[in-house]
């Protein structure tokens, strides 16, 4: 390695904590998206994988639903509002489950990606809702109740912009909740496990110093950082800064 980048602090700590998935999961809220791959290794459950597949379906179904009702505009005949609305409703339900899951799992969706997913719900379902309403008004709709499915998906899509807002600052309940989770994971470490991680990190830091990849000042600072806070201290997320009172940090 010829250079040491800020993201490498997160990767170093993630590898030192390879045997402690709960701690890596708790750290992920405070980490930049580039570090999530390292922090999430070995923490995904089968249920989580299933939800990933379901989430993919949730943002493709609104588009399919919109295409189904738009076919009426070009072909005439009867608009399949019931079928399209059912697909949109399923997409809304899956997205709602995703909200509940992401509140419990800090290895979740990047806020920018979350808002993009919101667009993928709002845009097609808004078009679908307008077409469906027109079809109902013109008495050309099959299953007019499907309009409610489109509306539900528009609402859920709009909620993405509120749920995946910019990360809260240190004084918010969201910060405190995730900070408490990190503290709990740190407190749960066994003494021998804590000693092993500390030794691994210190050894890695010594190698960095020997190779001249970081300055002596940075090296000394890194060696004094408690377990679990290396990335947060030396490479904090630009949009998520720790509180001014360092005494509230885990490990102090």
| pLDDT tens per residue across span 220-240 | 999 999 998 898 889 887 766
Angle between helical axes of 147-163 and 81-104 (0-180°, round to 10): 20
> C-alpha dihedral over 11, 112, 55, 133, to 10 degrees?
180
- pLDDT tens digits for 26-54? 888 788 878 777 777 654 444 455 656 67
Q: What are 49-67's pLDDT values in tens digits?
A: 565 667 677 889 999 999 9
Backbone angles phi, psi at 171, to 5 degrees: -90, -5
Q: What does the pLDDT look like over 13-26, one tens digit per residue?
A: 888 888 888 888 88
pLDDT tops 80 at residue 83: yes
Scored b (16 or more CB within 10 A) or e, 154-192 reads bebbebbeebbeebeeeeeeebeebbebbbebbeebeee
User: Whole-model pTM?
Assistant: 0.56
The residues that bridge with 79 in the sheet, in sequence order, are 141
Closest residue by Cα to residue 165 from 103, 115, 212, 214:
115
Q: What's the average model confidence in pLDDT over 103-109? A: 52
Tell me how crowded residue 35 is: count the other CB atoms within 10 A of its CB: 24
| Count, residues in the chain | 252
Helix residue spans in 138-172 (DSSP H): 147-163
Cα 72 to Cα 140: distance, rounded to the nearest angstrom: 9
What percentage of the chain carries pLDDT values higher than 70?
Answer: 79
pLDDT at 92: 93
Neighbouring residues of 174: CB distance < 8 A, sequence distance ≥ 6 = 167, 168
The confidence score (pLDDT) of residue 47 equals 47
Q: Which residue has the higher pLDDT, 175 or 77?
A: 77
* 93: confidence class by pLDDT, cuts 50, 70, 90: very high
CA distance 25 to 22: 5
Whole-number Cα distances in Å, 137 to 133, 147, 163, 175, 222? 6, 11, 34, 48, 67
Summarize pLDDT for 158-184 with one digit per residue, the tens. Answer: 988 887 766 544 446 667 777 888 888
Residue 250 confidence (pLDDT) above 80:
no
**pLDDT, tens digit, for every residue of 188-229?**
899 999 999 999 999 999 999 898 999 999 999 999 999 988
């Amino acid at each position: 390695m010829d250079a040491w980048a800020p993201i490498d602090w997160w990767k170093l700590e993630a590898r030192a904590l390879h045997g402690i998935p709960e701690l890596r999961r708790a750290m992920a809220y405070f980490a930049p998206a580039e570090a999530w791959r390292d922090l999430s290794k070995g923490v995904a459950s089968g249920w989580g994988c299933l939800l990933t597949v379901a989430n993919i379906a949730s943002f493709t179904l609104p588009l399919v639903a919109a295409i189904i009702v738009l076919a009426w505009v070009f072909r005439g005949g009867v608009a399949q509002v019931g079928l399209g609305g059912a697909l949109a409703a399923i997409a809304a339900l899956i997205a709602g489950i995703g909200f509940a899951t992401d509140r419990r799992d800090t290895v979740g969706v990047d806020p920018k990606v979350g808002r993009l997913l919101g667009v993928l719900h709002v845009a097609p379902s808004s078009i679908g809702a307008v077409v469906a309403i027109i079809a109902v008004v013109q008495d050309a709709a099959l299953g007019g109740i499907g309009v409610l499915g489109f509306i539900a998906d528009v609402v859920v899509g709009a909620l993405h912009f509120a749920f995946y807002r910019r990360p809260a600052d240190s004084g918010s309940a969201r910060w405190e909740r995730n900070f408490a989770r990190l503290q709990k994971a740190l407190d749960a470490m066994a003494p021998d496990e804590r000693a092993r991680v500390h030794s691994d990190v210190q050894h890695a830091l010594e190698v960095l110093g020997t190779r001249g990849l970081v300055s002596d000042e940075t090296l000394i600072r890194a060696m004094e950082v408690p377990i679990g806070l290396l990335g947060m201290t030396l490479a904090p997320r630009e949009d998520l800064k720790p509180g001014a009172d360092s005494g509230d940090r885990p490990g102090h």
